[in-house]
Structure 1
Amino acid sequence: MSGREFFTARTLAEVRSGFRPAHRTPAERVPLSAALHRVPVADITAPAALPGFARSTVDGFAVRAMDTYGASDGLPSYLDLIGAVRMGAEPTVAVRAGGCVAMPTGGVLPAGADAVVMVEYTAETMPGTIEVTRPVAPGGGIVRADEDVAAGGVLAPGGRPLRAPDLGFLAAAGVTTVAVHRRPRVAIISTGDEVVPPGTVELAPGQVRDATASALAGLVADAGGEPVIAGIVPDEPGALKERLVAAVAESDLVVVSAGSSVGARDETAGAVAAIGEIWCHGIAVKPGKPTLLAECSGIPLIGLPGNPLSALVVFGQVGVPLLWRIAGCEAPPPQPSTRVRLSRDLASAAGRLDVVQVMVRNGVAEPIFGPSALLSVLTRADGYVIVPEPATGLDAGTEVEVILYR
C-alpha cells in the first residue's frame, strides 16, 4: 500500500458490539483435571439429585420438630435416645414420637425425622434421655435430597468458564469428563526489518528485540488460548501475505504486531485486504488508535500498533474479549478491580477512550506516563483506569475504578 491512508476511527463500544466474527472453536471432551477455565459447549446437567439423600448439616440429634416445640432452658423437652447414625452408613433405626437419634454432620437422616437439633442445645441428663433446650423448625439442621440440585438440573452453564467450585460440583455428581470448546490457537506474527528474535545477543544500530510477541503470548495464554509465535516477517513485498495465508489456515485468531500504523511502509492493510475483508482500521482509544480488524476466510485478524505499550493495551481491550468469544464465552470473566481516588488531574479528548496505567498505594491511584514504546510503563503498573469517550478528563480526587492486573 503506497501513500498515506487516512481513516475514521471506530469507538471501542462500536468495535465490541459490531465486530463479532462467527468463528468458534469445535468441541472436545476433557477430564475434570484439565477442565479448569474451559468453556462448556452446553449446559452440563445432573444425572441424579444431589446430595441424593436428606442429611444432617450439624452434629446433634434427629428429631420430629413437633417434639421440640416450646423447649427452653427453663422448660426443656426430654426425648428418648433410641440409636445413632454412623457416617457413610444407612440408618438402622427410625425416629418415633418422643424419641431421637444421635447424628454426625453429613449423616443420613433416619425415617420419621424432619429436623436435627444442634448438640449445643442438648444434654444427656441420664443414660438414654436427651434434654433439648431450644426448639427446631421442620427442615432445620438438614439439607433435602435434591437441595443442591435436582435430577436434570444445571450443574454448570454452557458458555461460562468452569471455576474450581464447578469442578467440585461436577465431581460430586459423578461427572468426570466434560465437552468444552477447544482452546483457540492464536498465531502471533511480528513484522519489520528492525525486529530481531529475543535471543539476539548484540543488536545492530536500529534493531530491536521482539518483546511484543512474548508479551502477547502471555496475554493469550492467560485468556485460555494457545499462542503460536509465528516468527518475524521482513518488510518485503508479498512476504506478509504469504505468512498470513498459512496462519489463517491453521489458526482461530491471527494477530499481527508492528505493521498496522498508517505510513509509507505499512504492508499489513494491503496484505490483509488481499486475502480478506477489513472491518475497520482505527479505534478511538489511546494508546492503540492505529489498530486493524478484519476477517480472512472466516478467521478474525487483529493488526496491532508497532509500539509495545499500545499493542498490549489494545489487545487487552479488544483481543482478549474476542479470544473468549471464539472459545464460546460471550461474556469474558470479570477482572479484579478496586475503587480508589486519583492523585492528580487526567486530561483527555472527548470522543476518545483513554486507558491510563496507574500504581495503587494506600487507596490512591497514581498515573504512570511515558512513551508508548516503553514496556516499563506496564511493568510498573498495578492496573489501569478508563477515561470514557464522553469525558474531557478526570479531576484529582475523583473516585475511579482501577482494573487490576493479575
Structure 2
Amino acid sequence: MSGREFFSTRTVAEALAGFRPAHRTPVEDVPLAAALHRVPAAPVSAAAPLPGFARSTVDGFAVRAADTYGASEGLPSYLDLLGTVRMGAEPTVAVRPGGCVAMPTGGVLPAGADAVVMVEYTAETMPGTIEVTRPVAPGGGVVRADEDVAAGGTLVPAGRPLRAPDLGLLAAAGVTAVPVHARPRVTIISTGDEVVPPSTVSPAPGQVRDATASALAGLVADAGGEPVLAGIVDDEPGALKSRLTEVLPESDLVVVSAGSSVGARDETAGAVASVGEIWCHGLAIKPGKPTLLADCGGIPLIGLPGNPLSALVVFGQVGIPLLWRLSGCDAPPPVPSTRARLSRDLASASGRLDIVQVTVHEGVAEPLFGPSALLSVLTRADGYVRIPEPATGLDGGTEVEVVLYR
C-alpha cells in the first residue's frame, strides 16, 4: 500500500449505517446506585402494579363523585365527615353515600370512594359537615393502583441509557440491581516518532507532547466507556502490529492516533490490515478525512488523523456512536443543542460533511477557524455546526443548529 493515501472512502452517514461490528460488551449486574447512564441488557419488568394501591393526588376529601354532581358556590353539596385517612396507614373508615373522608396527598383511597375533591373547593360549615362547591368526576384527584405500571409491564426498556427518573421507578418497584452491558474498554494507542509523553519536561525540537490521547480518554469516559492508554508506538516497521496483537484480546474498541504523513497513514493501514479487515480508509469529512475503520475479528478499530482537532472531531462523529452501540445502546442519547444565526457565510464542498467550530453569543454563531493541529480552536468553541454532505455552504444569517459541548 506504499504511496496509496486513500481507498474505499465513505461518507459519515455510510459509516454510521454500515460499519457495525457484531461485538457487544458482556452483561453484568450493577446496584441501582451505580446504574445511572448504564444500558440495560434486557427489559426490566414490574413484579407488581405501581403504585400498588389507589391513592390521592391532592389534599382534600374522598367522596362518591355522584354526591358532588351539581355542586356550586351558590348551591353547594353537604357531606358528613366520617373520619380521616392517615399517611402510611390503611384506611379504617369507608365512604358511604352522603359522606366523605379527609385525605392527605398520597393517602390510600378508602373503600366506597371513587374520587377526591380538592380542599380548595370545600369548607367545614359546622363541625362534622363539609360543604363542597365544585363537582368532581369519577377518578378525579386519584391515581389508580396500576396507573404508573401494570403488573408485568416494562419498567425500563433494553438499549436505552438509564436516566434519573428510571432509577426512581426501579426503586419504587423494589428493583435493587440491574443487568447492564459492561462499560466498553477502549484502548487508545498513539503513534509517531515525534510524539512524547505529556510528562516530558522539555521536548526536543520537532517533538510534541501527546495531547490527543488525553483528550480522547476524556471523550470516552464522558460517553460511558473505560479508556485505557496503551502508550506511544514509534514508526518502526512491525511495532504497531505487535501492539495491536497485544491489546485486541483485551479491548472492546481500539483507537489509533496515527501520524499525519502519507507514509505514516500507510504504515497504520498496513498494520491494521494484517490483524483485521479494513472497512474504509478515508471519510468524506472536514476536518478528519484520513480516518480508517476496520473490523478486527469483531473488535472495531478506528484509525484517527494525527492532528488533534481532526482526531477529536472524527471521534465525536463516528467513535462515540460506535462506543454507545458496543454498550448495547440502540442509538446514542441526544446531545444538547441550540438554534443560532450564522454571523458569516460558510463555504463547503458537495459530498463532504463539514464540522465548523463556533462560539455562540446572544443567538449568533461565530465560526472559529485555525489549523487542525491547534486544540485551542476546540477549547474556545461553545459547540459546532454541521454542513451536510449535499450542501455547498451556508449563507450568513442562516439559522442553524449548534451542537453544544457539555
Deviation at 1:9, TM superposition (A): 2.0
Shift in Å, 1:203? 1.0
266-275 vs 206-215, greater mean Cα deviation: 266-275
Say if 2:358 and 2:367, in contact at 8 Å, map to a contact too. yes
Note if contact 1:40-1:160 (Cα within 8 Å) is conserved in structure 2. Answer: yes
Counterpart of 1:64?
Answer: 64
In structure 2, what residue type is equivalent to 1:352?
R
Hey, what's the Cα distance between the residues in 1 that align with 2:345 and 2:24? 42
Which residue of the partner structure matches residue 128 of structure 1? 128
Q: Is the 8 A contact 2:54 2:145 kept in 1?
A: yes
Matches within 5 A, 1:4-403: 4-259=4-259, 262-263=262-263, 266-403=266-403
Contact 1:261/1:291 (8 A) holds in 2: no
Contact 1:259 1:266 in 2 (8 A): no
Q: Deviation per CA, 1:186-207, whole angstroms, max 9, x where unpaired?
A: 0000000100000111110001
Q: 1:83 to 1:261 in 2, by over 3 A?
A: farther
Q: How far apart in 1 are the matches of 2:239 and 2:312?
A: 24
Q: What secondary structure, in the 3-state scheme, does the structure 1 residue paired with 2:263 have?
A: coil
- The 1-side partners of 2:227 and 2:303 are apart by 16
Question: What is the total number of aligned residue pairs between the two structures?
Answer: 406
Instruction: Check conservation: 1:261, 1:290, Cα contact below 8 A.
Output: no
Deviation at 1:265, TM superposition (A): 6.6
Relative to structure 2, which stretch is displaced further, 371-380 or 259-268? 259-268
Cα deviation digits, residues 150-204 of structure 1 (max 9, x gap): 0010110000000000000000000000000000000000000100000111110
Residue 102 of structure 2: SS of its match in structure 1?
A: strand
Query: Match for 2:35: what amino acid?
Result: A
Give yes or no for contact 1:80–1:130 (8 Å, CA) kept in 2: yes
The runs of 5 or more residues in structure 2 that have no matched partner are none
Deviation at 1:227, TM superposition (A): 0.1
How much has 1:239 moved relative to structure 2?
0.6
- Counterpart of 1:275 in 2: which secondary structure? coil
Would the alpha carbon gap of residues 393 and 231 (structure 1) be closer, same or farther in structure 2, given more than 3 Å must change? Answer: same
Deviations 1:333-355 (A, max 9, x none): 01011111000000000110100
Paired AA for residue 315 in structure 2: F
Q: Deviations over 1:39-82 (max 9, x none)?
A: 00011111100000000000000000000000000000000000
For structure 1, the residue ranges without an aligned partner over 5 or more in a row are none
RMSD (CA atoms): 1.0
Sequence identity percentage: 85
Quote the offset at 1:260 in angstroms. 6.7
| Cα shift at 1:330 | 1.8
Q: How many Å separate the matches in 2 of 1:306 and 1:261?
A: 8
TM-score by length of 1: 0.99
- In 2, Cα distance between equivalents of 1:6 and 1:232: 24
Offset at residue 267 of structure 1 (A): 1.5
- Between the aligned partners of 1:106 and 1:261, the Cα distance in structure 2 is 67
Say whether the 8 Å CA contact 2:287–2:355 is kept in structure 1: yes
8 Å Cα contact 2:3/2:262 also seen in 1: no
